[in-house]
Every structure is written in structure tokens, then in C-alpha cells.
Amino acid sequence: MSTGLAVGIHDLSFATTEFVLPHLELAGHTGADPAKYHVGLGQRSMSIAAADEDIVTMAASAAAPLVARWGADRIRTVVLATETSIDQSKAAGVYVHSLLGLSPAARVVELKQACYSATAAVQFALGLVHRNPGQLVLVIATDVSRYDPDSPGEATQGAAAVAMLVGADPVLLRVEEPSGLSTVDVMDFWRPNYRSTALVAGRESVTAYLQALEGVWKDYTEQGGRPLGDFRAFCYHQPFTKMAHKAHRHLLGFTGNVVDEDRIAAMLALTTAYNEVVGNSYTASVYLALASLLDHADDLDGEAIAIASYGSGSVAEFFGVTAVPGYREHLRTEEHRRAVERRRPIDFAAYRELQAHALPVDGGHHPLPRQTTGDYRLAALSGHKRVYERR
């Protein structure tokens, strides 16, 4: 039940990696027609992590500007969502908490459910703020997507982190009730503990995504949600950006609306600008789409935006947010542009070398080469412990 308190996203920032591989470079070595990537997948390039970058360094880089702007005093909870977990026990967010210098009077947890869990983190944060409106909750979605070399998924790899502050009286977006929910046990995408790369059943995954979209929309309407026509824009999870087009086309057809391809292309282009050059960032993907929309749309004051979050396996959620009047004054558009443009292009050989890089498992002391120019890096593995440092 709503308390009448306006709660939502107070600030949003994203970070990505040191390196980038253009899909033209990939096509030159796979023999694929570049149009397969540019048109078929809707991807132009993909972020590649340096040897001393991971989900922690990206998460800290994404969250640091939020702490710098709003301070750390009111942050009593950090929720980190990822499917690229670095430890079976310790939450990656604990490292981020330390790197950011947050108060020890805080709770830190990690959430997992494929690409969906950042939305669970947001919903968890909303509940905490309703309970204590004086606090801010730091939500971070951070992932590095990796697939086997020469597999169909290789061209959809990527990496990014999106950090959000959730609080009362937000200056960016108010999160609305209700949510539409769906959970179905399906093996469309998974990564067993003994594998460093994911397994995916491509066609089954697309079908599972679209069926989940039907399920969340049906539940959303049954819970009393808005009519589809009320939404000015739609942000979809984007394992590749053309999936957003498939999803929106499917939702329009499912709800009996006219499918206008030109209108779909124009609207979704605002949400795919970052994902098409960063690649799939798993939990961060739908919120990277949201960042892209906010940074590229002319004016969304008071407008409703749909969020369609999907995680294979599968769990999905559909809910709405409303842009707070004056939200543009608080955007980080220039910082986001720099995060994308600062990446250094690498060739195919350098990319394959980075992808083949594996951390040692013998428990010795192993310093890592300094590659990233970012503010945070994984400096070493020592005694089975990860050692991070700030620049």
C-alpha cells in the first residue's frame, strides 16, 4: 500500500572500462559481414575490461560521483547487483564500501538473478526508504559479460556499472506503484560455478524474454497499472539493442496496439545509444538504457517512462517511473559521454589476450599489470585475497 511518500532515483551515474573493441575489428577476424553486428544485433562496439579492472572497480567508479555530490552521511545501505560475482561468500559491495570510504554503520549485500537483480535491488531500496525516509540507499548494478571465443554470443559482450541513489523526494525519477511480476523456471541462459563464461540457448532465450514480457504486462494491468499509451518512453533490458525493438514490437502486438516501425525506431534510439557502443552489461543494461534516455531526450518533465527488466532463468518485472520536473539540471550527460569516449580502442589480438587472461589460483602473491587509467584498480591477488587500490 502506498504511503503517499514520493520515493525514487535521486541520482544516477555510470562507468565502463578502459578498452573498447569496435565490431568492425571483430568482423575483420571472424569473417562476418559487419552488417550482422551493426544491423542484425544493433551493436557498434563493446567495452573490454583491462587486466586490473572488474565489477568492483567499475562499481566504485560509477558510485564515487554520487557520494561526492550528496555526501556519505545518509547512506546506510549498499546493494550491489551482479551476475559476475567474484566470491561465493563475500559481497563485492563490501570492497566498494571500503574504496568509497563509507561509514561502517551500514549494511552491504549482493543480489543475484541474472540480468534482473538490479531491479530487485531498487525495489529493496524503495522499501528501506519508505521505512526510514531520512536515508539514501546506494544501488549498484555492475557486470562484465563474457562468452566463449567464436560463439554466437561473443559479439554481444560488454561491461558497465550503473550506480543509483534511491531516496525520498527524488530529483530525477519517482518510482510508481504497482509492479508487474513474472517468474518461470527455464534454462535459456546460465553459468555454472565451474565456468567463467555463460551458456546460452539463443532462440529459447528470445522466446523466454518475450513470454516474460507478456507475463509482467498481464500482471501489471491486473495490479491496476497505467494503460500502455500513458508511457512516453520504454526502457528494455538489452542483451543486444535490437532485442529492445523485438520486445517493444511484441508488447504492442500483444496489447492490440498498432506497430509503427518508424515510431518504434525513433523512440528506442534514445534508449540504445549507450548500449550499442558498450555492449551487454547484464544487470546494468536496462538502467544504462534509462541513462541514455535521460541524457538524449529533449524534455521528459512529468512524463511516465516504462521499465521492463528481464533476467534469464527467468525473472522479470515491469513498472513505471515519472521524470521529476527540472530533472535535467541533475543529469551527468557530459560525464557519461566522457566515460564512453575515454576508452582506448584495441585490436583483435589484444582483445583475445585480455579475454584469455585468468587470475592465478595458487594463493601466492601476484601483482597485476597497471593497465587502467581509472581511479580504482585491482592491484594484486595475495593469499587468495583481492587487493584493491585507489589512484
pLDDT tens, residue by residue, 338-358: 999 999 999 999 999 999 999
- Looking at residue 276, its amino acid is E
Distance CA 236, CA 308 (A): 5
Beta-bridge partner residues of 19 = 48, 344
Residue 1: predicted pLDDT: 41
Widest CA span of the chain, in angstroms?
Answer: 62
Residue 17: predicted pLDDT: 98
- pLDDT of residue 3 exceeding 70, the answer is no
Distance CA 198, CA 84 (A): 10
* Catalytic machinery residues: 83, 115, 237
pLDDT digits (tens, 9 = 90+) for 159-199: 999 999 999 999 999 999 999 999 999 999 999 999 989 99
**Average pLDDT of the chain?**
97
Axis-axis angle for helices 241-254, 202-222 (nearest 10): 50
Q: Is 201 exposed, middle or buried (0-12, 13-18, 19+ CB in 10 A)?
A: middle
Q: Which ranges of the chain would DSSP assign to H, the alpha helix? A: 23-30, 34-35, 55-70, 92-99, 117-131, 202-222, 241-254, 261-272, 275-278, 285-296, 333-341, 348-356
Confidence of residue 251 (pLDDT cuts 50, 70, 90): very high
pTM for the whole thing? 0.97
In the chain, where are the structural domains located?
A: 7-390
User: All 3 cell numbers of residue 46?
Assistant: 563493446
Confidence of residue 249 (pLDDT cuts 50, 70, 90): very high
Lowest mean pLDDT among 56-65, 255-264, 295-304, 324-333: 255-264
Q: How far apart, in Å, are the Cα atoms of 241 and each of 12, 37, 122, 156?
A: 21, 10, 23, 9
CATH T-level assignment (fold) for domain 7-390 = Peroxisomal Thiolase; Chain A, domain 1 (3.40.47)
